[in-house]
A and B are shown apart, each in its own frame.
Chain A
Amino acid sequence: AQKVTQAQTEISVVEKEDVTLDCVYETRDTTYYLFWYKQPPSGELVFLIRRNSFDEQNEISGRYSWNFQKSTSSFNFTITASQVVDSAVYFCALSTTDSWGKLQFGAGTQVVVTP
């Protein structure tokens, strides 16, 4: 069975601080996919990144970076120099090759960035 754990319910930071969101996953599959989505107050789901299990290279996109470590089954997400517009709920999700279109979501982490 697949499981995604986002232990942090809410993180509050002041603008320009860095914030790291943890994501720990469980799966028996050797090939799987990990995702991060952002849900701003307006409610839509915004795709941020997808990672394949066979690609452990970390990724940076602007102020966002992701650290994928298979050894610890973690796929953490860091926002550098946070801004008020980063305030949102962030979801980590997992899918596997036997049900690749079916995402298992974590509970989400609410990020609150204050000026």
Chain B
Amino acid sequence: NAGVMQNPRHLVRRRGQEARLRCSPMKGHSHVYWYRQLPEEGLKFMVYLQKENIIDESGMPKERFSAEFPKEGPSILRIQQVVRGDSAAYFCASSPPFIIPGQGNYGYTFGSGTRLTVV
């Protein structure tokens, strides 16, 4: 049972380019969450998606950032025209739509993250 898969693990982009980060949730998980960890900081919630639907994007920057979770395929976090301040680790988590009794971690699993460096 594969965990949450994020790729690429490391991504280098020049200023002004686009960055696409992918997240494949665990099997059976229909909810995806994206978090950003800026250097020397904690994780900040960005967006919560279900298949073909954005549930909560209260943490997303207003410009240049978008996220989707299509019916088929992974969730994508897209950053257009990247700037140096976008350099961070981006983590994805997935969960089932409800709490599963007995699942110690609350059914909430993080991927290994994508480290974006903007040069």
Contact = CB atoms under 8 A, between A and B. Distances in A.
A107 B42 CA distance: 4
B106 A91 contact: no
Nearest to A92: B42
A33 B112 CA distance: 22
Nearest to B105: A47
B48 A102 contact: yes
Contacts of A91: 42-43
Nearest to A100: B99
A72 to B, nearest CB: 22
Interface range, B side: 20 to 34
A102 B42 contact: no
B113 A45 contact: yes
Given A43-B89, A43-B112, A43-B115, A105 B106 contact: no
A23 to B, nearest CB: 12
Nearest to A43: B113
A45 B45 CA distance: 15
**A-B pairs, 3 with minimum CB distance:** A45-B110, A105-B42, A47-B105
17 contacts: A33-B106, A35-B106, A43-B89, A43-B112, A44-B110, A44-B112, A45-B91, A47-B108, A50-B104, A100-B99, A101-B33, A101-B93, A102-B48, A102-B56, A103-B93, A105-B42, A108-B42
Given A101-B48, A101-B93, A106-B42, 20 more contacts: A37-B110, A43-B89, A43-B112, A43-B115, A44-B110, A45-B113, A49-B104, A50-B104, A50-B105, A50-B106, A50-B108, A91-B42, A91-B43, A93-B43, A100-B106, A102-B56, A103-B33, A103-B35, A103-B43, A107-B41
Interface of B: 31, 33, 35, 41-45, 48, 56, 89, 91, 93, 95, 99, 104-106, 108-110, 112-113, 115
Interface of A: 33, 35, 37, 43-45, 47, 49-50, 91, 93, 95, 99-108
